[in-house]
């Protein structure tokens, strides 16, 4: 798992693993911020962790080469980017092609990049949400796997919208990882396969945390 922030998605995945719905194991947590909550959480849980500051390297490629060599050392079946706030070099993405996903707080293809909640409000959107997608070299542009939607309410500001979306993001990521861990979804194929068939549209997470085809 790659994260730059407080590690709430990591906590959600660990909770889903402990409770049973997610048959997986987190083998390592990696960050560009040694003081991040995600790294602290990994240490508390006894999970291997590596944090490398970009400023300690000559350039992005050098940083990513070091960080993703550490990722490769734990031999992950899947790399989950959850709140990892750096653009990953194309070489590192290709190194793990078909094995890396990202959760993004918008209904992609709307609002790639940052400040998604404020941008949704500024556009007057009636609904907002989050997406899980395959990581490709282009920013937030990989094949969409799943999405969750919430209404934008009168009086919402960016902070309120983000706070209401966060638990649904957690459920979306945990549920999507479970589909991958159990073999229901295969992102190593092009196009992505779900239940033995090409995935034509992202799955939609229902209020009861089950998925329906979009």
Res 35: pLDDT: 97
Cα angle: 6, vertex 10, 13; to 5 degrees: 150
Its sign, for the CA torsion 99, 105, 106, 107, is positive
Q: What is the pLDDT of residue 29?
A: 98
Q: What is the CATH number of domain 110-130+146-214?
A: 3.40.50.170
Kind and range of the H or E element at 172? Answer: helix 158-181
Q: Up-side HSE of residue 189: CA atoms within 13 Å toward CB?
A: 15
Fold agreement (1-96, 110-130+146-214)? yes
What integer pLDDT is reported at residue 214 of this predicted model?
A: 86
Q: How buried is residue 56: exposed, middle or buried, by Cβ count under 10 Å (0-12/13-18/19+)?
A: exposed
Residues in the chain where the model's pLDDT stays below 50: none
Domain range 1-96, its CATH number among 3.20.20.10, 2.115.10.20, 3.30.590.10, 3.40.50.170: 3.40.50.170
Tokens at residue 102, please?
Answer: 């990202």
- Annotated catalytic, 170? no
- Which of 63, 104, 117, 128 is an active site residue? 104
Q: Per-domain residue ranges for the chain?
A: 1-96, 110-130+146-214
Q: 81: phi > 0 → left, psi -120 to 50 → alpha, else beta; which?
A: beta
């Amino acid at each position: 798992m790659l994260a730059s922030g407080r590690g709430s998605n990591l906590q959600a995945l660990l909770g889903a693993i402990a409770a049973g719905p997610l048959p997986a194991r987190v083998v390592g947590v990696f960050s560009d911020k040694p003081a991040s909550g995600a790294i602290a959480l990994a240490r508390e849980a006894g999970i291997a962790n590596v944090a490398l500051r970009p400023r300690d390297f000559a350039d992005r490629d050098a940083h990513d080469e070091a960080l993703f060599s550490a990722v490769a050392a734990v031999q992950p079946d899947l790399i989950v980017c959850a709140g990892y706030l750096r653009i990953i070099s194309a070489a590192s993405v290709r190194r793990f092609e078909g094995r890396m996903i990202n959760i993004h707080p918008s209904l992609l293809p709307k609002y790639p990049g940052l400040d998604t909640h404020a941008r949704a409000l500024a556009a007057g959107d009636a609904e907002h949400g989050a997406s899980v997608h395959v990581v490709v070299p282009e920013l937030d542009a990989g094949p969409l796997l799943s999405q969750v939607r919430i209404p934008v309410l009168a009086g919402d500001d960016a902070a309120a919208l983000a706070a209401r979306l966060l638990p649904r993001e957690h459920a979306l990521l945990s549920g999507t990882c479970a589909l991958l861990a159990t073999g229901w979804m295969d992102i190593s194929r092009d196009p992505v396969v779900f239940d033995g068939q090409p995935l034509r549209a992202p799955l939609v997470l229902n209020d009861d945390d089950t998925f329906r085809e979009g």
